[in-house]
Amino acid sequence: MHYNFIKQSNKRYLEELNNRWHEFPVVSNAVNIMQRTEWVINRPVFDVLDACVKNSFALGKLPINPEDIPLPPKPFDIATNKEAKTKWKREASNVYKERAKAKSKFIQVRQIQEEAKLFLDIGFWYPYQLDFRGRIYPKSPMLSPQSADYARALLKFKFGKPMATEEAFNNFAVAGAGLFGETDKEELAIRRQWVIDNADKIISTANNPLTDTFWCEADKPFSFLAWCIEYRDFANTDFDPKFITTLPIHSDCSNSGLQHYSAMMRDEVGGKATNLVPSNKPNDVYGIVAEKVIERLKESSDPLAKKWLDYGIDRKICKKPVMCLPYSLTQYSCRQYIQDNVEKELVDRNKQHEFGDDLFKSTHWLTGIVWKSINEVIVGAKDIMKFLKDVAKLVASENLPVAWTSPLGLPIFMSSYKKESKRVKTKMGDSIIKLSVSSETEEIDRRKVQQSICPNLIHQLDSSVLSLSVVKGSELGIDNFSLIHDSFGVLSPDANNMSLALREAFCDIYSQDVLANWAMEMKQMLSEKNQKKFPPIPAKGSLDLDLVKSSVFFCV
């Protein structure tokens, strides 16, 4: 099967890539290194997933067959009691909506289950492909290291390494506590202690996952179950250092989007909030925003303020809005994320609220508070985002695509063209059918370019750091990689080397002035008239990026 190394339909761009292939060896080397990782199906996790699907056990947030979601029982007097009938219809309507929502998710579960069944007891590899920003994706869209939690848990490396040292076990323990989520914002010693304190529960749930459902309480339940099984197997050897571990252990960057903005701007405030500098405890930018929201709610006399305070504002409700800010978050999306969180908490933890059936009014009101709080905490990122959008607008005004070179030499081509719709009549049997066919014009869509420049630049920087980290990690002896853009998965004995490679890669990328280089390429594209309109680059701070190398919580 043939496919392009980079997903792109523009033939001139693909030709340019072919001519400049020698200019970005780190990118192609990184993909080749990742493709050498051999995988197998984690059989115990597969057996649990298989039992859940066959018996409609809704364990670990797994979507079950929507037809098995029961309708509310009909009132005995439904034929004569109009009020009871109306209430039942409303409740039944919610179930039908839930069934419709669950259908596509359950189909995906079944597809992943069948894929996994094909690969039981054999090794396999993933081919990878880049998108136009350099982001690396496995070609398999379902069962992959970048898929849903239950799919990732089905995968482990075929070849492992001995646990060998206490340091490797510490890495393993910290990862397990992180998957559970109870102590993921605490010091590493507290996370390790959590594993020791809960050892009996961990082993029990690994032995009887269908009856002892402790693993279902985790933030990432199936991945945590896979970790529990590996822990149990290690414990069964009496923690023999020769035990071969094959489970990928992930380290996640602390809001990588804001980390990139802080690094570009050398922003001391943003750098501290996103753990670019060393600290005894991890700084939690989501929690900082949540505290600001609570302060504003306490100052408000609006009745909704008390309702939200009674409901409880925490880092979870602020996480998605803050996380998505670097990717051109809008207030519309912010409100939707808040509502999604309230609905999710109700389903997952039965967290009740007093906002009634229509959440729109309450979440719309809170959005204004959250939005102001985010802008109060994250100042530097807003400045640089405005600069990027203003420059992109200038480029688009000349009907030019936004094209630049990544820090690793990869040409990036961002084109968003307006579309036009044409009505087509065709005959089908005795009927005339009218269809709408959409096609791209040759005019750049200025609005889309402005909206997409921030996320695309950040994703490109994520991919540059990842590619360079993989190459550096390989040089340090790491030969198994499970990667999700800003999450780095390796064996626990390799975790320290991966940590070193990542931090060195990040500092290497930003040893050059990334923002100035991007701005220079943009300015060179413009006419003399628009060059005079080119906005000044925001003033930089004095953050010492070498501190990243000694920051434990930069990515953990």
pLDDT one-digit tens code per residue, 299-355 = 999 989 999 999 999 988 999 999 888 887 888 899 999 999 998 888 777 888 888
Picking from 385, 407, 400, the residue whose alpha carbon sits closest to that of residue 453 is: 385
Sign of CA dihedral 387, 388, 393, 399: positive
pLDDT digits (tens, 9 = 90+) for 524-553: 999 999 999 999 999 999 999 999 999 999
Rg of the chain taking only CA atoms, in angstroms: 26
Task: Please tell me the pTM assigned to this model.
Answer: 0.91
List alpha helices for 488-536, DSSP H.
495-509, 514-525, 528-531
CA pair distance 459, 410, nearest whole angstrom? 13
Distances 468 to 134, 453, 463, 549 between C-alpha atoms, Å: 12, 23, 9, 15
In this structure, the chain runs to a length of: 556
Q: Which pLDDT belongs to residue 70?
A: 84
- Tokens for 334? 């912010």
Lowest mean pLDDT among 46-60, 376-390, 479-493, 541-555: 376-390
Sign of CA dihedral 485, 555, 222, 350: negative
Q: Are 241 and 164 in contact (CB under 8 A)?
A: yes
pLDDT digits (tens, 9 = 90+) for 202-248: 999 999 999 999 999 999 999 999 999 999 999 999 999 999 999 99
- Tokens for 365? 């009101």
- Tokens for 403? 């094209």
Q: Are 205 and 180 in contact (CB under 8 A)?
A: no
Q: Are 509 and 256 in contact (CB under 8 A)?
A: no
Picking from 441, 442, 444, 440, the residue whose alpha carbon sits closest to that of residue 396 is: 444
Picking from 420, 419, 416, the residue whose alpha carbon sits closest to that of residue 393 is: 416
Distances 409 to 24, 457, 503, 546 between C-alpha atoms, Å: 5, 14, 20, 23
pLDDT digits (tens, 9 = 90+) for 408-451: 999 999 988 888 888 888 877 778 888 888 888 888 999 999 99
Average per-residue pLDDT for the chain: 92
